[in-house]
Amino acid sequence: MSLVKKLFAKTPMARSTRAYEFGLARLPQLPTGGVLEIGTGQGYGAAFLSRAFPERQVIAIDITYGCFKPDRLEFGAHRPWFVQASAPYLPFADGVFALATAIMTFHCLPEPQRVFGEVFRVLKKGGVFLMADVDGNHRIAPWFERVEHWGGISPITRAYPPAEIEKLGAEAGFPPPRTFRRKPRGFMIWYIFQKQKSPL
């Protein structure tokens, strides 16, 4: 494990739940079903989701659990299920989740088009894919990529421009997303993709 990864693993809350709070506050009404978190990291996001959705089962996936800190987590009524899996090849049936999240994760996922296709597949009609990541058009994006590459966090890190994210979503079958920023010039952008409901 690289020095940067070791430091990340020791950070008390490297993946801030404020990002989850910001995104969840803007969700449309969800269908029944579980919640899928892509990119568990230390586990704070999954723990937060289990508290935010006490009536739903949260399933959190990651390709590795080297940063996982289960002893530091506060869960909701239902403890999340933690599954080691790859985002481009989700081991779940079609149409089982009401919500999928990828918070500061998509930039380091392989096969981005497959990821979108898999998320679309496992979501129920009316289900939502909530993403938050670095805006590839922002001036900080090249530096963010360099830190991830040079620090050994992820050699494939790429900050995607919003137009490319929207194109990936459209190719998977999603309508155009709603997008949000905390600040007008903020480097992070939130996307809400909703799978179309069945016609009446």
Give tens-digit pLDDT for 89-121: 999 999 999 999 999 999 999 999 999 999 999
Neighbour-count burial of 195, counting CB atoms closer than 10 A to its CB (0-12 exposed, 13-18 middle, 19+ buried): buried
The answer on pLDDT for 15 being more than 90 is no
Residue identified by tokens 């679309």 is 120
- Chain center to CA of 12: 20
Q: What is the mean pLDDT of residues 158-165?
A: 97
The answer on pLDDT for 166 being more than 90 is yes
The helix or strand, by DSSP H or E, that contains position 147, with its residue range, turns out to be helix 141-150
87 or 185, which is more confident: 87
pLDDT attached to residue 8: 42
The answer on pLDDT for 16 being more than 80 is no
Quote the mean pLDDT of the chain: 89
Q: What is the mean pLDDT of residues 134-163?
A: 92
- Residue range 22-78, pLDDT digits in tens: 999 999 999 999 999 999 888 999 999 999 999 999 999 999 877 777 788 889 999
pLDDT attached to residue 153: 80
For the chain, domains (ranges, CATH) are 3-194 (3.40.50.150)
Beta sheet of 81-84, edge-to-edge order? 81-84, 58-62, 34-38, 97-103, 123-134, 188-194, 178-180
3-class SS at 173?
Answer: coil
